[in-house]
Chain A
Amino acid sequence: MTSCATTPSTLPFSPLRRVSPFHPTRFLNSPFPRPSISRRGFSCHVAVSSDISSSVTSEEEAEAAAKIGKKVRVTVPLKVYHVMKIPDLDLCGLEGAIKQYVAIWKGKRITANLPFKVEFLIPVEGQDKPVKVLAHLREDEFEYVD
Chain B
Amino acid sequence: MATQAAFLGSTLLSPKLDSSLRRSNRLKTRAQVDPSDKSVEIMRKFSEQYARKSGTYFCVDKGVTSVVIKGLADHKDSLGAPLCPCRHYDDKAAEVGQGFWNCPCVPMRERKECHCMLFLTPDNDFAGQEQTITLDEIKEATSKL
Contact = CB atoms under 8 A, between A and B. Distances in A.
Interface of A: 1-2, 20, 22-23, 39-54, 78-82, 102, 105-106, 108-114, 135-136
Contacts, number: 101
A77 B24 CA distance: 60
Given A39-B12, A111-B95, A46 B90 contact: no
Contacts of A39: 8, 10, 12-13
A114 B97 contact: no
Nearest to B16: A1
Contacts of B90: 50-54, 109, 111
A20 B94 contact: no
A80 B2 contact: no
B98 interface: yes
Contacts of A81: 54, 110-112
Given A2-B14, A39-B13, A51-B1, A102 B8 contact: no
Interface string B79-112: 0000000011111001101101100001101111
Looking at chain A's contact residues, is the secondary structure mostly helix, strand, loop, or mixed?
loop
B4 A48 contact: yes
Interface in B5-44: 5-14, 27, 29
Given A23-B12, A112-B106, A136-B100, 20 more contacts: A39-B10, A41-B8, A41-B9, A43-B8, A43-B9, A46-B5, A46-B27, A46-B29, A48-B27, A54-B94, A78-B111, A81-B110, A102-B98, A105-B97, A105-B98, A108-B91, A109-B90, A111-B101, A112-B98, A136-B110
Contacts of B107: 113-114, 136
Contacts of B6: 43-46
